């Protein structure tokens, strides 16, 4: 399989707090020594709870943030050290869909102008060609040409997300980074947008990086999954292995915590004690040790290395 | 219902007024009851009126342009809509408590936790300050807070989301209410924390035998917590059923669509059946059945006249013309 994105030992911290001299004295360790590859044509999902660094990881790949250390490769080019000007031609290869569709559309622009904008920046099409393309895309995402003249506030949440998707598709990207694209939508609308994303992947030959906290959604859409906790990838594997053989204690707890809409299926639930530690003061040992029921003295002292326990299934835990 | 009802809502209608003459009906003549010790689920999507229902019951609409224009809310036989604000204040927080979705914004950010809790307890009991503080610490320990003394001295911003929701639950529990109204209590929380909170609520409910009205959009939470549930759509109840029946034999096309469109962990499907269209605007509702424009079974009859809630089984009702055929009896 061809690799589209390669992330190697990437770390990102954000400064918080200041000393008397104005130098930062504390850091949020958002992403810690993370490595993974995304293959062409697959859906790679990053799951985890709030503050686990999943969105930061997406932003690092999209060059909206620069890593402190490590390498990021996109389609054979190293992009983490590029300047904004150097990255600009690559921007059309990777587009983003955001969680809050209302916040990511300019309220003072008509839908056709919103969808046209990327074409204006990245292509040399004429006005007529651009409009033809815009109307075609609106059709594809399930809106019609009559919507083109309207403003974003005239649309429901699901429709706004469709506009966001149309906008991302205009420049025929290779990679779409979707950061919680359906979390803000109603249940009955979520399925519509998920199905749309699924259909578009085939017809536009897209690679998805799907960032989500919802394990049932991720199961539907993914090929491979990385589970993040406190800025670390604790487990990474093809979907079937994550769901049939969850191996990291955190993945096991996460899966067991999902409420299942079927009263007949009662299951054993692992209730985790305590809260997620702060990312400012990372634990010395395993990041999950404070909440883990298998915690050994070793876990408090050293960070576990990522180990391959079966082909393609990587776990960072001292149990293996 | 054979068991005794703690709360009975009859024909409740809540309208929001934009001017003296024009209004939007957010809740349209809904009736339901909650038995003693029962957990009743109230499910629906945004704008279906589930939160307005809870605010109407609690008499908390005064800060909005909303007003209850019809119906009764009987709490142990007493109509809460007819009593004075002073009497209501005694019930609210005492016999009837509420927890909200945003624990952070429901706590006073400028007040330490102990002060907020003591205030609530002393309002409804005649405990002294010291006794109330002791009671507060006890309840915090009961809701699984490891170091109650430290948390009592904290301000809300010093607590995590799960911790502040636990404080909210503790505050709601502090006067041993008979009814707890929980409006999306775990929606803002992470799944592992959600599991802790749901587990806690169920434990308290079993120990104290209180009733819970669980308002949520999450069918998973309903399936795991409730014994019976009500599905709302565009301000009306469209289906009411015991929990097993609701999930195994849903009758209303909206309930069917809703259950089908939720991805289930471990089901292995790639494409979900979805409900086309979106929720109607409450100010321009269709004339017949409110779900008809999105319903694949809709006929002329559905577009022409509005169906009643028809009885389709024991304690099972559905607002659909399909349910009316070869069945008799209306609720």
Q: What per-residue confidence (pLDDT) applies to B329?
A: 46
Instruction: Please list every residue in chain A whose beta carbon sits closer than 8 Å to the beta carbon of residue B270.
Output: 198, 220-221
How far B13 CA lies from chain A's nearest CA (Å)?
Answer: 24
Among B198, B199, B247, beta carbon nearest to A261 = B247
Q: What per-residue confidence (pLDDT) applies to A253?
A: 92
Instruction: Please list every residue in chain A whose beta carbon sits closer than 8 Å to the beta carbon of residue B218.
Output: 259
Whole-angstrom CA distances from B236 to A282, B13, B44, B72, B132 are 50, 10, 10, 16, 42
Task: Give the bridge partners for B180, in sequence order.
Answer: B97, B212
Q: CA A36 to CA B226: how far, in whole Å?
A: 41
Strands A232-238 and A313-316, sheet pairing: antiparallel
Inter-chain CB proximity B261 and A272 less than 8 Å: no
What is the rounded average pLDDT of the residues A33-44? 95
DSSP symbol at B92: B
Strands A175-179 and A94-97, sheet pairing: parallel
Which of A37-46, A96-105, A296-305 is predicted with the least confidence, judged by mean pLDDT? A96-105
- Suggest the residue from A182, A213, A220, A249 to mutate for an interface test with chain B (most B CBs closer than 10 A): A220
- What is the strand order of the sheet B96-99 is part of? B96-99, B179-183, B211-216, B39-43, B228-233, B236-242, B316-318, B310-313
Give the residue, A147 or A36, on which the prediction is more confident: A36
Report helix angle B113-124 to B129-142, nearest 10. Answer: 110
The tally of CA atoms less than 13 A away on the side-chain side of residue B1 is 18
Inter-chain CB proximity A274 and B247 less than 8 Å: no
Q: Is the pLDDT of residue B151 over 60?
A: yes
What is the share, in percent, of chain A residues with pLDDT greater than 90? Answer: 66
Supply φ then ψ for residue B13, to 5 degrees: -130, 125
How many other CB atoms are there within 10 angstroms of residue B183's CB atom?
A: 21
Q: What per-residue confidence (pLDDT) applies to B263?
A: 85
What is the rounded average pLDDT of the residues A52-79? 93
pLDDT in tens, B158-212: 888 888 888 988 898 888 899 999 998 888 788 888 888 898 889 889 988 899 9
Whole-angstrom CA distances from A169 to A74, A122, A166, A193, A312 are 18, 12, 5, 14, 31
Q: CA A32 to CA A13: how far, in whole Å?
A: 8
Answer whether A82 touches B (CB < 8 Å): no
Inter-chain CB proximity B257 and A275 less than 8 Å: no
Q: What per-residue confidence (pLDDT) applies to B124?
A: 87
Paired tokens of A19: 């000393």
Q: Which residue of B has its CA nearest to A219?
A: B265
Q: Is the pLDDT of residue B326 over 90?
A: no
Q: CA A213 to CA A48: how far, in whole Å?
A: 5
Answer whether B158 touches A (CB < 8 Å): no
Whole-angstrom CA distances from A74 to A56, A82, A87 are 17, 12, 11
Inter-chain CB proximity A261 and B264 less than 8 Å: yes
Answer whether A261 touches B (CB < 8 Å): yes
Instruction: Please list every residue in chain B whose beta carbon sits closer than 8 Å to the beta carbon of residue A187.
Output: 45, 217, 219, 258, 261-262
Instruction: Please list every residue in chain B whose beta carbon sits closer than 8 Å to the beta carbon of residue A263.
Output: 223-224, 243-244, 247-248
Task: Please report the domains of chain A, with CATH numbers, ordered by start residue.
Answer: 3-93+173-316 (3.40.50.300)
Q: Is the pLDDT of residue B107 over 50?
A: yes
Q: What per-residue confidence (pLDDT) applies to B3?
A: 59
Instruction: Please list every residue in chain A whose beta carbon sits closer than 8 Å to the beta carbon of residue B199.
Output: 269, 271
Inter-chain CB proximity B244 and A259 less than 8 Å: no
Q: Could you say which residues from 16 to 45 on chain B have a Cβ atom under 8 Å away from some Cβ of chain A?
A: 45
Q: Is the pLDDT of residue B130 over 90?
A: yes
The tally of CA atoms less than 13 A away on the side-chain side of residue B103 is 27
Q: What per-residue confidence (pLDDT) applies to B160?
A: 82
Q: What per-residue confidence (pLDDT) applies to B328?
A: 47
**Can you give the residue ranges of every domain in chain B?**
255-264+271-331
**ipTM of the complex as predicted:** 0.82
Instruction: Please list every residue in chain B whose beta carbon sits closer than 8 Å to the beta carbon of residue A194.
Output: 263, 272
Instruction: Please list every residue in chain A whose beta carbon sits closer than 8 Å to the beta carbon of residue B190.
Output: 49-50, 213, 276
How far A261 CA lies from chain B's nearest CA (Å)?
Answer: 4
The tally of CA atoms less than 13 A away on the side-chain side of residue A89 is 4
Q: What per-residue confidence (pLDDT) applies to B292?
A: 93
Q: Is the pLDDT of residue A214 over 50?
A: yes
Which of B126, B198, B295, B5 has the alpha carbon at shortest distance from A188? Answer: B295
Q: Where are the beta strands (DSSP E) in B39-104?
A: 39-43, 66-75, 78-79, 96-99
Q: What per-residue confidence (pLDDT) applies to B325?
A: 66
Give the residue, A102 or A139, on which the prediction is more confident: A139
Q: Could you say which residues from 216 to 275 on chain B have a Cβ atom under 8 Å away from some Cβ of chain A?
A: 217-224, 243-244, 247-248, 257-259, 261-266, 268-275
What is the rounded average pLDDT of the residues A36-56? 93
pLDDT in tens, A228-263: 999 999 999 999 999 999 999 999 999 998 888 888
- Given pLDDT bands bounded at 50, 70 and 90, which one contains residue B1? very low
How far B287 CA lies from chain A's nearest CA (Å)?
Answer: 21
What is the rounded average pLDDT of the residues A83-94? 90
Q: CA A295 to CA A302: how far, in whole Å?
A: 12
Question: Which residue is it, tokens 């209608």?
Answer: B13
Q: CA A158 to CA B102: how far, in whole Å?
A: 23
Cβ-proximal residues to B242 (8 Å cutoff; 6+ apart), any chain: B227, B228, B314, B315, B316
Inter-chain CB proximity B262 and A220 less than 8 Å: no
Q: What per-residue confidence (pLDDT) applies to B330?
A: 45
CB B260 within 8 A of CB B273: yes
Among A189, A219, A261, beta carbon nearest to B223 = A261
Give the residue, A318 or B102, on which the prediction is more confident: A318
- Suggest the residue from B263, B284, B293 to mutate for an interface test with chain A (most A CBs closer than 10 A): B263
Q: Is the pLDDT of residue B19 over 50?
A: yes
Element holding A71 (H helix, E strand): strand A69-74
Chain centroid, CA A200 distance in Å: 18
pLDDT in tens, B215-274: 999 999 999 999 999 999 999 999 999 999 999 999 999 999 999 988 888 777 778 888
How far B53 CA lies from chain A's nearest CA (Å)?
Answer: 19
Question: Which residue is it, tokens 């920046």?
Answer: A121
Inter-chain CB proximity B262 and A216 less than 8 Å: yes
The rounded mean pLDDT for chain B is 88
- What's the longest Cα–Cα distance across chain A? 68
Q: Which residue of A has its CA nearest to B220?
A: A261
Answer whether A254 touches B (CB < 8 Å): yes
pLDDT in tens, B257-299: 999 988 888 777 778 888 888 888 888 888 899 999 999 999 9
């Amino acid at each position: 399989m061809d690799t589209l994105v390669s992330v190697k030992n990437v770390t990102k911290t954000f400064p918080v707090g200041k000393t008397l001299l104005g130098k930062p004295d504390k850091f949020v360790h958002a992403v810690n020594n993370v490595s993974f590859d995304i293959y062409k044509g697959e859906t790679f999902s990053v799951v985890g709870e709030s503050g686990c660094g999943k969105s930061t990881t997406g932003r690092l790949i999209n060059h909206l943030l620069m890593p402190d250390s490590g390498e990021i490769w996109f389609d054979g080019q190293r992009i983490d050290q590029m300047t904004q000007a150097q990255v600009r031609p690559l921007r059309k290869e990777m587009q983003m869909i955001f969680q809050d569709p209302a916040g990511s559309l300019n309220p003072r622009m008509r839908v056709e102008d919103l969808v046209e904008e990327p074409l204006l920046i990245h292509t040399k099409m004429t006005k007529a060609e651009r409009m033809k393309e815009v109307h075609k895309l609106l059709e594809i995402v399930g809106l019609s040409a009559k919507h083109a003249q309207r403003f974003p506030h005239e649309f429901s949440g699901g429709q706004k997300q469709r506009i966001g998707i149309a906008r991302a598709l205009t420049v025929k990207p290779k990679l779409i980074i979707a950061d919680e694209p359906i979390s803000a939508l109603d249940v009955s609308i979520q399925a519509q947008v998920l199905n749309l994303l699924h259909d578009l992947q085939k017809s536009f030959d897209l690679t998805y990086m799907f960032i989500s906290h919802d394990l049932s959604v991720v199961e539907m859409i993914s090929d491979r999954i990385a589970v993040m906790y406190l800025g670390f990838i604790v487990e990474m594997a093809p979907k079937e292995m994550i769901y049939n053989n969850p191996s990291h204690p955190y993945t096991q707890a996460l899966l067991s915590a999902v409420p299942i809409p079927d009263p007949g299926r009662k299951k054993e639930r692992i209730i985790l004690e305590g809260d997620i530690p702060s990312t400012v003061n990372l634990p010395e040992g395993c990041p999950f040790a404070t909440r883990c029921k298998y915690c050994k003295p070793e876990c408090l002292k050293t960070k576990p290395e990522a180990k391959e326990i079966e082909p393609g299934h990587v776990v960072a835990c001292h149990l293996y | 219902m054979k068991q005794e009802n703690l709360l009975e809502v009859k024909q409740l209608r809540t309208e929001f007024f934009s001017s003296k003459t024009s209004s939007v009906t957010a809740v349209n003549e809904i009736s339901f009851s909650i038995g003693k010790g029962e957990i009743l689920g109230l499910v629906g999507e945004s704008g279906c009126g589930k939160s307005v229902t809870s605010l109407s019951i609690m008499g908390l609409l005064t800060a909005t342009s909303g007003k209850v224009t019809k119906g009764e809310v009987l709490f142990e036989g007493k109509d809460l809509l007819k009593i004075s604000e002073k009497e209501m204040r005694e019930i609210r927080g005492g016999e009837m408590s509420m927890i909200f979705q945003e624990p952070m914004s429901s706590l006073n950010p400028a007040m330490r936790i102990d002060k907020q809790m003591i205030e609530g307890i002393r309002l409804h009991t005649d405990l002294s300050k010291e006794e109330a503080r002791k009671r507060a610490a006890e309840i915090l320990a009961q809701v699984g807070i490891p170091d109650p003394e430290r948390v009592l001295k904290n301000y809300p911003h010093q607590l995590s989301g799960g911790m502040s929701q636990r404080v909210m639950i503790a505050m709601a529990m502090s006067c041993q209410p008979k009814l707890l109204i929980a409006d999306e209590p775990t929606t803002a929380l992470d799944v592992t924390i959600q599991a802790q909170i749901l587990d806690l609520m169920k434990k308290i409910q079993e120990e104290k035998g209180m009733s819970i009205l669980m308002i949520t959009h999450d069918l998973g939470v309903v399936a795991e917590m409730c014994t019976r549930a009500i599905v709302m759509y565009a301000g009306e109840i469209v289906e009411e059923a015991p929990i097993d029946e609701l999930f195994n034999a849903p009758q209303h096309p909206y309930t069917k669509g809703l259950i089908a469109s939720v991805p289930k962990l471990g089901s292995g499907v790639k494409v979900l059946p979805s409900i086309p269209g979106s929720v109607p605007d409450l100010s321009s509702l269709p004339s017949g059945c409110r779900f008809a424009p999105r319903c694949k079974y809709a006929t002329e009859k559905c577009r022409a006249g509005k169906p009643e809630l028809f009885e389709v089984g024991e304690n099972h009702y559905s607002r659909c013309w399909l349910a009316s055929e070869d069945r008799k009896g209306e609720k």
